[in-house]
Structure 1
Amino acid sequence: METTAEAKFHVLAVDDSLIDRKLIERLLRTSSYRVTTVDSGSKALEFLGLQEDDSTSSPTVSSSLSDNQEIEVNLVITDYCMPGMTGYDLLKRIKETSSLKNIPVVIMSSENEPSRINMCLEEGAEEFFLKPVQMSDLERIRPYIMRRKSVEPEEQTQLENQASQGELCSSTQEPSEKETKGSDNRGKRKAIDEGLACPQTRPRCTVTA
């Protein structure tokens, strides 16, 4: 696993071919990206803080994340054909994980198969690049990273607004309950006062001569 010098955006590149891995790393570094390269889908999951449960095929978030999790991943670019876990499998794992599903994923392949391309795009891949990847291809990934960066503050603002609205609703409900109780007490007091104010009927005395 190799990480280049610090840059603004961080890309995780996944490819079992050393030559292709070095090529994509060089292109990304030339484009001023910070790059981490791994040679398998399982190592990519580990870097993202996921582990596969042996009893089930679904990934679970690791309870003891490594120091790598302090490094935010802004985009994942992965080869399609890899031994063990394919790029399509890795794509599915990422999109099935709530904490990672918004990370853009780009698939690379040396085979131009429309059915494969459509399958990956339908599963949530942003792009499907044919190898060898060119600099013009990488110019197309920046909008996806920028879009995710712009969405994050909006999501945070929505959460804050929802929390504020919840507090506002609870605060408006409390006075209404107090007013109801106060109204009931006033009604009871009024009834008591009216009862006390009722004139008492005295028996009339009859004087006989």
Structure 2
Amino acid sequence: MGMAAAESRFHVLAVDDNVIDRKLIERLLKTSSYQVTTVDSGSKALEFLGLHEDDESNSDSPSILRNNHHQELEVNLIITDYCMPGMTGYDLLKKIKESSSLKNIPVVIMSSENDPLRIGRCLKEGAEEFFLKPVRPSDLKRLRPHMMKAVSKDQEQEKHEDEEDDEEGIKSQKHQQQQQQQQEQVEHYQQQSSPRPSGNSKRKAMEESLSPDRTRPRYSDIAAVV
């Protein structure tokens, strides 16, 4: 997939338990031409991403707001509120960064409180940005470089994996060739070292083949005529 095509399909997962804030961030993201999926809790965000938290599930809470089109899309960025019941935005960030399959997804934290300790802790844990609410359109302009960087990183990783597969194939082919050469050498050695008839044996065989008893007819039963 080319960079331009990837950019046109950027998909953002927005997480906020406040319905008004959730609708606001969804509208801002769509205005910026992003495709958006919204959820109201960290546990539902993990479920959407394929990580299930059984202890955080709640059958009384509303279901994830997504459709089949969204399910087919790769998530290119997660933007989440910090203060949420059950699982905070910081907890969600940690779980994303601890996952081998999700750790490259950029995560942005939102909060209505300008707390330096909170901001520093999130950035140290791997958050790309920390936005103060209400989020403004100018804030969203800072999202695209992070998504572009993530796409480039994924492409480099795929290229590296392909190169590793090629190297493994070459190694396997060389190993098979070495085994074949060794087998051929063993067979050649066996042929060279197989017992051969000695000179005496050859001579004896020739004498037996030329023996008068074998080459001349017998007349023992015929009377000699004088």
Q: TM-score range by the shorter chain?
A: 0.7 to 0.9
Figure out how many residues of one structure are paired with residues of the other and give that number.
184
SS in 2 for 1:196: coil
Deviations 1:38-70 (A, max 9, x none): 222122222222211449xxxxxxxxxx95532
SS in 2 for 1:107: strand
| Gap regions ≥5 residues in structure 1 | 1-6, 56-65, 203-209
Give the C-alpha shift of residue 128 in structure 1: 0.8
**Structure 2 match to 1:205:** none
SS in 2 for 1:101: coil
Percent identity between matched residues is 59
- Which one has the largest radius of gyration? 2
* Structure-2 separation of matches of 1:54 and 1:29: 33
SS in 2 for 1:172: helix
* Structure-1 separation of matches of 2:177 and 2:9: 50
Corresponding letter in the other structure for 2:196: L
Deviations 1:93-133 (A, max 9, x none): 21222222211110011111222111111211111111121
**Structure 2 match to 1:159:** 161
Give the C-alpha shift of residue 190 in structure 1: 2.1
Aligned counterpart in structure 1 of residue 117 of structure 2, from 111, 115, 118: 115
Question: 1 or 2, which has the higher helix percentage?
Answer: 2
* Structure-1 separation of matches of 2:173 and 2:180: 11
Q: Which consecutive segments of 4 or more residues in structure 1 shift more than 6 A?
A: none
Asked if 1 retains the 8 angstrom alpha-carbon contact of 2:15 and 2:41, the reply is yes
**Structure 2 match to 1:62:** none
Asked if 2 retains the 8 angstrom alpha-carbon contact of 1:91 and 1:123, the reply is yes
| Gap regions ≥5 residues in structure 2 | 1-7, 57-66, 204-226
Corresponding letter in the other structure for 2:136: Q
Where do residues 34-183 of structure 1 align in structure 2 (5 Å cutoff)?
A: 34-54=35-55, 67=68, 69-183=71-185
CA RMSD of aligned residues (A): 2.3
SS in 2 for 1:50: coil
